[in-house]
């Protein structure tokens, strides 16, 4: 198929909108620790490598400037949707791990902003950083790229995604992500219920002693011991759920 120079530039621009919009929100690629220039070069390189196959398959042609502008906004929205669906799992994991940190008394501890621009408690930072690293170690980032390429078969250039369909998809993935996060953090929730019940009973029996202040170090120590034993299973369960989402191609 013959393209003029203007068609080639417009084709690359439209493809870059979906690919760059997806990488802008996709877990791992969108980390604030990665320089913006490096992320831009990754998106450009990926677009250049995929453009020949995608352009030939889609037979992209542009007749006027209005159609080009409409395709740009449509592709930006679709790319952001694809990246957001994967990002929801990590947002749910961060939320539930912050709740788990609160249950063991470590929510106020200062943490380094490893994967996000804002600091998280050390327990949450450790789990989210391990999950991000495992995306690349286990090769799931290739599944994200494969799903992005496969999206052109389902949603070709110019496809208009209905807002209600997008909202339904986001709500479904958000529900599944928080169910996974709740399952991962459930040991800490059960631990907090048992420990606080025991501390409350002791405080009733000995009201003269400030039990809550004395029990603080023991609650943290017990939570860290629990974290030592369940952290491997937590990361495994999360990566299994995220890998299933990536392979499913949602």
Distance CA 52, CA 234 (A): 41
Retrieve residue 145's tokens.
């790229």
pLDDT confidence of residue 1:
47
More confident site: 77 or 203: 77
Can you tell me the distance from the alpha carbon of 177 to that of 2, in angstroms, rounded to the nearest whole number?
45
CB burial string 21-39: b at 16+ within 10 A, e below: bbbbbbbbbbbeeeeeeeb
Query: pLDDT digits over 191-247, tens only?
Result: 999 998 888 888 887 777 777 778 888 888 998 899 899 988 999 999 999 988 888
Tokens describing residue 28: 């791992």
How much is the mean pLDDT over the chain?
82
Q: For residue 115, what is the DSSP state?
A: S
Between 16 and 63, whose confidence is greater? 16
CA dist., res. 109 & res. 93, Å (int): 18
Q: Please give the structure tokens belonging to residue 165.
A: 């369909």
- Cα separation of 99 and 81, whole Å? 27
**Which residues does 229 contact at the CB level (< 8 Å), separation at least 6?**
none
Half-sphere exposure of residue 180: CA atoms within 13 angstroms, side-chain side: 26
């Amino acid at each position: 198929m013959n393209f003029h120079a203007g068609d080639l530039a417009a084709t690359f621009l439209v493809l870059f909108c979906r690919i760059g919009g997806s990488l802008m929100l996709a877990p791992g690629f969108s980390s604030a620790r990665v320089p913006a220039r490096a992320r831009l070069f990754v998106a450009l390189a990926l677009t250049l490598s995929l453009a020949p196959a995608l352009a030939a398959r889609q037979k992209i042609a542009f007749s006027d400037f209005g159609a080009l502008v409409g395709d740009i906004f449509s592709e930006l929205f679709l790319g952001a949707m694809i990246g957001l669906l994967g990002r929801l799992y990590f947002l749910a994991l961060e939320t539930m791990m912050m709740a788990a940190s609160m249950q063991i008394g470590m929510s106020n501890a200062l943490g380094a902003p490893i994967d996000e621009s804002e600091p998280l408690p050390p327990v949450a930072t450790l789990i989210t950083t391990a999950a991000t690293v495992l995306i690349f170690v286990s090769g799931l980032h290739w599944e994200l790229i494969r799903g992005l390429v496969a999206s052109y078969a389902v949603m070709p250039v110019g496809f208009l995604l209905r807002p209600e369909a997008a909202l339904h998809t986001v709500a479904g993935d958000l529900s599944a992500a928080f169910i996974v996060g709740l399952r991962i953090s459930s040991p800490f929730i059960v631990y907090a219920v048992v420990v606080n019940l025991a501390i409350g009973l002791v405080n009733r029996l000995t009201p003269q002693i400030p039990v809550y202040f004395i029990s603080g170090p023991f609650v943290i120590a017990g939570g860290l011991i629990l974290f030592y034993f369940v952290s491997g299973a937590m990361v495994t369960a999360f990566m299994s759920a995220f890998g299933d989402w990536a392979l499913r191609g949602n």
